[in-house]
Amino acid sequence: MKSAFLNLLSLAPTAAWLLPLALATVALANDRSRSDPRCYELRIYQVAPGKRDALIARFRDHTDRLFARHGIERLGYWVPVDATDHSLVFLLAYPSRAERETRWEAFRNDPEWQAARKESEAGGPLLTGSESILLSATDYSPAIAAAAKSPERVFELRTYKAQPGRLAALNARFRDRTVALFSKHGMTHLGYWMPLDAAKGSDDTLIYLLAHASQEAAAESFKAFRVDPDWIAAREASEKAAGGSLTVQPGGVRSQFLRPLPFSPTR
């Protein structure tokens, strides 16, 4: 460990910023649980044709209340702005991963939930599939709490796939530059997370949620962000140190615009 540290000190000046990056990587591993120990869960439901209204009604009339009964923190419920995408996206939180297992099992076994599900599916299943991603907040994520704003906002779920071995560099760039520049250009941060499980991308994936006044406002914000000299300098420095793009190219950055449901805690 000592020799590795001394080797870092001997780096050429052009790569000197790798030392704080290496130290930040160690700090990231140590500090993530201390900054926000909660276990988050991003759930994406693929809805059967013609069944989304029934699914939303079940969430509104039963599911949301039963989540609360079992100590599951509800942060937001959204549907895609794209009319061709009939999925439902929602974000939950628990005190820990162990509590997630306990509370989710209690919810699933609740007789009221089982009755509500049976009644809602009398005409057939409401879902064709689902995905669950357990997450932990990054050490630079803001305090994540439900918040309703007026007028209603549009939300943007962004997923970044890092090049092998470059997730720490990507997080360092977000922590030191990107987040502040997002704020500068009028974007609101909801949270920044990394998957807990390797199968879901714990070693190469960053997921975050932004809020904008509208899709048009989002386009203007990102247009200004991308030509900001501070962003250009940060991107060039980080890519030079890493030996190339920090994200997979092409297709390493995905964006989905969402609108909140009327009963969503975050709107």
DSSP secondary structure letter of residue 202? T
Length of the chain: 267
The tens-digit pLDDT sequence of the chain (267 residues) is: 443 333 433 334 334 434 444 444 444 444 444 579 999 999 999 999 999 999 999 999 999 999 999 999 999 999 999 999 999 999 999 999 999 999 999 999 999 999 999 999 999 999 999 999 999 999 999 988 888 888 889 999 999 999 999 999 999 999 999 999 999 999 999 999 999 999 999 999 999 999 999 999 999 999 999 999 999 999 999 999 999 999 999 999 999 999 999 999 999
Distance CA 154, CA 17 (A): 36
Distance CA 91, CA 55 (A): 16
Distance CA 212, CA 68 (A): 28
143 and 162 share one domain:
yes
Asked, for residue 111, whether it belongs to a domain, the answer is yes
143 and 232 share one domain:
yes
One-letter amino acid at 94 equals Y
Q: How much is the pLDDT for 38?
A: 96
116 and 206 share one domain:
no
Side-chain-side CA neighbours of residue 100 (13 Å): 19
- What is the H or E stretch that residue 193 is in? strand 188-195
- How many domains is the chain built from? 2
132 and 149 share one domain:
no
Beta-carbon neighbour count of residue 240 at 10 Å? Answer: 12
Q: State pTM to two decimals.
A: 0.86
128 and 146 share one domain:
no
Q: How much is the pLDDT for 13?
A: 39
> CA–CA distance from 214 to each of 81, 181, 238 (Å)?
11, 19, 30
Phi and psi for 92 in degrees, rounded to 5? Answer: -125, 165
Asked, for residue 80, whether it belongs to a domain, the answer is yes
Read off the CATH number of the domain in which 223 is found.
Answer: 3.30.70.100
Distance CA 223, CA 46 (A): 32
145 and 255 share one domain:
yes
163 and 212 share one domain:
yes
Domain membership of residue 75 as a residue range: 39-136
